[in-house]
Amino acid sequence: MPDSTESFGERLTGGVVNDVWRVGDTVRRPTGPWTPAVHALLRHLESVGFPYSPRVLGIDDLGREVLTYIDGAPGLRPWPPVLRTDDGLRAIGRMLRELAEAVQSFTPPPGAVWRTTVAGPPLPGGSIRHGDLGMWNTIWDAERLVGLIDWDFAEPAPPLWDLAQAAWYAVPFFRGEAGWRACGFAEEPDLRHRFTILCDAYGADPAAVLDALSALQSAERQRVATLGAAGIAPFTDFLARGDLDELDTEAAWLAAHRQSLA
């Protein structure tokens, strides 16, 4: 791509892992060993008509990946009002169902490398997950969900892990009262109702999603501990900021509330 030397671009804020720049109608992001596998996934999603992912345009002369810019507002806290409604949860659930169906026909390139250091084909009967299903990676045009960005943590994973992670952050099961207040709720939301809405929109059994979330939290803890101790970024940052204690707290909360949620 020829234009990157003319302007480094406008730095986009909100992320904590990568420096991201906008140049015209494109987004420029750092690359890594995982980039070819992620680009193969994004090209596959484009080929099957999944409408929410950015499109791959190439690599610029500064070595950054070039993706299409998705216009809209990210779901940063405090959330856009739609994320506090049933309709917002239904949109997320339907989008993740479309994604689960779209990736079933994806075959990773030979020798695929993923940022989490997991390599290889999808798990048996499984999936490739987005891997970072926080609401900050969803893009909204008023009340319409229009994008899912930041695919760097995509990886082979059990089919329900993306939905489980979305429940963690979108219901939210995250940080208790401090979590839902940060999302913009004036009063405690009905977590069971919101969780049911999300699962119904996807077509998943809530108990199975809670099982998946427990497994995901355990995997994330192990990942932060091992990759952080090995000096692998950004897990070093996650380890340093205290994510292990936070993940333990989240897992204990989930265990204590499981019966009331399912």
C-alpha–C-alpha distance, residues 212 and 186, integer Å? 29
**What pLDDT is stored for residue 124 in this prediction?**
52
Average pLDDT of the chain?
Answer: 91
pLDDT tens digits, one per residue of 189-200:
999 999 999 999
**What pLDDT is stored for residue 54 in this prediction?**
98
Residue limits of CATH 3.30.200.20 in the chain = 3-68
CATH, domain range 73-261:
3.90.1200.10
CATH class of 3-68: alpha beta
Q: Does the pLDDT at position 169 exceed 80?
A: yes
> Which residues lie closer than 8 Å to 132 by C-beta, 6 or more apart?
150, 151, 152, 153, 165
Q: Does the pLDDT at position 123 exceed 70?
A: no
**What pLDDT is stored for residue 116 in this prediction?**
86
Cα–Cα nearest to 38, from 150, 160, 164, 158: 150
In the block, residue with structure tokens 């190439």: 58
Q: Is residue 126 within 8 Å of residue 157, measured between CB atoms?
A: yes
Model confidence at 44, pLDDT cuts 50, 70, 90, reads very high
**What pLDDT is stored for residue 7 in this prediction?**
56
**One-letter amino acid of 188:** E
Torsion of CA 116, 75, 198, 256, to 10 degrees: 70
Query: What value does the mean pLDDT take over residues 194-213?
Result: 98
Q: Does the pLDDT at position 119 exceed 50?
A: no
pLDDT tens digits, one per residue of 88-110:
999 999 999 999 999 999 999 99
Query: What value does the mean pLDDT take over residues 239-260?
Result: 96
**What pLDDT is stored for residue 176 in this prediction?**
85
Q: Does the pLDDT at position 3 exceed 50?
A: no
In percent, the amount of the chain with pLDDT more than 70 equals 92
Q: Is 145 helix (H, G, I), strand (E, B) or coil?
A: strand
Residue limits of CATH 3.90.1200.10 in the chain = 73-261
**What pLDDT is stored for residue 9 in this prediction?**
77
